[in-house]
Chain A
Amino acid sequence: MTTIATPVPTAVARPRPVADVRTMLRRNLLRAVRYPGLTMFMVLGPLVMLVLFVYVFGGALGAGVDPGAAPGAEARAAYLDYLTPTLLVITIVGAGQSVAISAAMDAYGGIMARFKTMAISPGSVLSGQVLGTVIQGILALVLVLAAAFAMGYRPEADALDWLALAGVLVLLAFALAWLCVAMGLNAKSVETASNTPMILLLLPFLGSGFVPVETMPTPVQWFAQHQPFTPIIETVRGLLAGGAGLDGSVALTAVAWLVLIGVAGYVWARSLFRRERRI
């Protein structure tokens, strides 16, 4: 005698990682469509900075990044060139903040516990979040870049530079998404989930993001030269400028940082996911 008499389909015991990741990715993209506020926030921050820093400060700051530029329109154009790469990086940091929030929402909302009691690939829960964020981040990048174009930005990158740039930005998106998923899972509540990733937003300011490092006092300069965002921003900037001023060792340092951040974030996130949560 069997306990189940009704002819309903039963769950398949073996997890299917590829199918499960696809299902989780679909869920996260659907969430992004249903709650566009978070994606808009990702784009809006960099857009405000772009307009503010270029149109308000750019006329003065431009002379600092390009000594040959005359104050006013010429300096603004120079500053737009300098700032756009930074804002692409900041857009990806914003994507990180949003994934920290959604990871914390899942962890505290009970749905993560539900996933853990199902015969699914455990890795699919966080991978779906990360993949979804990378896709959102890339869309946001396109929008920010389009805005910069509309303001007169004309990068000198050739096809190969664009390809390398895409590689660096996608790597950045993955690395920060894993790190921020971990930060979200480590948060004490959903409300505080985006606090720790906020530190990441500060780093471009304490590096070559907004003004050249050489203009900073010695201790700040030292920090700027040794933190990951300086080589990352320099690499993005160099590739957009056609690779002319890009030092190979800087690009290598950037990639090494990204791999390190990505692996560390992944390992941390996985251990937090497996950690027993008191219920």
Chain B
Amino acid sequence: MPISTRGPAIEVAGLRKTYRSKSGDQLVLDGVDLVVPAGTVTALLGPNGAGKTTTVGVLSTLLKADAGTVRVAGHDIAREPDAVRASIGVTGQITAVDELLTGTENLRLMADLNHLGRAAGRRRVSDLLERFGLADAAAKPVATYSGGMKRKLDLAMTLVGAPSVVFLDEPTTGLDPRSRRTLWEEVRALVESGTTILLTTQYLEEADRLADAVAVLHGGRIVAEGTPDELKAVHAAGSLDDVFLALTEPPAGTDAATAEDDVPADEKENVR
């Protein structure tokens, strides 16, 4: 659903999230505040286990927040989850494609689930296949695709419903430089057409090149926010790498080894 004015596309205030399990509770988000203006790209940076994926999970209605308010595309995620779902597209860390189906069938599945109607759906599917350079492989089962092609199809599937807000959780992890560049170009084109993007990434170069704004998540909070250049200036750093290292030092008393243990087991597995 398009937003009528260029207000914020994402507004997060005081977001808290704890994972509860038999082996103990783990606080992951401890009061996250974040505003993403419509039609911009915000990159969420942070060390492994900082809660980037959890943040995307809550904002995309996959996880329930314990406290705080979140509005996405003008809708409250707790009160109008379906309106939020109709406005968003999510490309998660795990490539979410059906390997047994072909590229066309995967996209058509999304068109049907978005209730686009037969003719409009078919048009949209062939547009996206063309746009992502998948037209030649469209009739082949996805199991035969390369990692880069699967990721492109994944993003194309996310875009079938023409979402106004797109979440990309480490979209280029494991991709070769060429595929990464193709994805960057797609992201830029999306923003030019008015889409709002929140992306998480491990690659600071990616944030530097793509993002209008960068938010650094550490210890369950946003510890810095600004344009890449602002952050570099404030921290007298030459690159976002230096800013990142300065901001996300493990707290005193913990070392790298214990910090590593904070990574949720699932997240470790998913990093490929």
Verify that A and B bind, or say they do not.
yes
Given A117-B85, A120-B113, check contact A30 B2 (CB 8 Å): no
Are B94 and A113 in contact, CB atoms less than 8 angstroms apart? yes
Partner of B101, one of A11, A19, A27, A110: A27
> Is A154 engaged at the interface, CB distance under 8 Å to the other chain?
no
A-B contact pairs, 27 of them (CB 8 A): A3-B38, A4-B195, A5-B194, A8-B162, A9-B116, A9-B117, A9-B162, A10-B86, A11-B87, A11-B115, A13-B1, A13-B85, A13-B86, A19-B112, A19-B115, A27-B98, A30-B101, A34-B101, A113-B94, A114-B90, A116-B62, A117-B61, A118-B161, A119-B82, A120-B113, A276-B62, A279-B92
B-side binding surface: helix, strand, loop or mixed?
loop
Q: Which of B4-12, B201-209, B217-225, B239-247 contacts A (4 or more CB under 8 A)?
A: B4-12
Please give, as numbers and ranges, the residues of chain A lying within 8 Å of B147 by CB-CB distance: none
Give the distance in Å from the alpha carbon of A11 to the alpha carbon of B73 in the complex: 13
Closest chain B residue to A33, Cβ basis: B100
Are B82 and A11 in contact, CB atoms less than 8 angstroms apart? no
Please give, as numbers and ranges, the residues of chain B lying within 8 Å of A23 by CB-CB distance: 109, 112-113
How far is the CB of B124 from the nearest CB of chain A, in Å? 7
> Could you count the A-B residue pairs with CB atoms below 8 Å apart for me: how many are there?
134
> Is B63 engaged at the interface, CB distance under 8 Å to the other chain?
yes
A-side binding surface: helix, strand, loop or mixed?
loop
Closest chain A residue to B95, Cβ basis: A110
Please give, as numbers and ranges, the residues of chain A lying within 8 Å of B88 by CB-CB distance: 117
Closest chain A residue to B169, Cβ basis: A279
> Is B39 engaged at the interface, CB distance under 8 Å to the other chain?
yes
Are B2 and A4 in contact, CB atoms less than 8 angstroms apart? yes
Give the distance in Å from the alpha carbon of A114 to the alpha carbon of B15 in the complex: 22
Number of interface residues of B (CB under 8 A): 60
A3-B164, A5-B194, A120-B113 known; 10 new pairs, CB 8 Å cut-off, are: A3-B196, A11-B86, A11-B162, A31-B100, A111-B98, A116-B62, A117-B90, A276-B63, A279-B57, A279-B267
Are A34 and B100 in contact, CB atoms less than 8 angstroms apart? yes
Are B124 and A9 in contact, CB atoms less than 8 angstroms apart? yes
How far is the CB of B261 from the nearest CB of chain A, in Å? 15
Are B4 and A34 in contact, CB atoms less than 8 angstroms apart? no
> Is B264 engaged at the interface, CB distance under 8 Å to the other chain?
yes
> Is A67 engaged at the interface, CB distance under 8 Å to the other chain?
no
Partner of A119, one of B57, B86, B162, B164: B86
Give the distance in Å from the alpha carbon of A152 to the alpha carbon of B266 in the complex: 54
What 0/1 pattern do residues 111 to 141 of B give for CB contact below 8 A with A? Answer: 0111111001100100000000000000001
> Is B228 engaged at the interface, CB distance under 8 Å to the other chain?
no
> Is B193 engaged at the interface, CB distance under 8 Å to the other chain?
yes
Are B162 and A110 in contact, CB atoms less than 8 angstroms apart? no
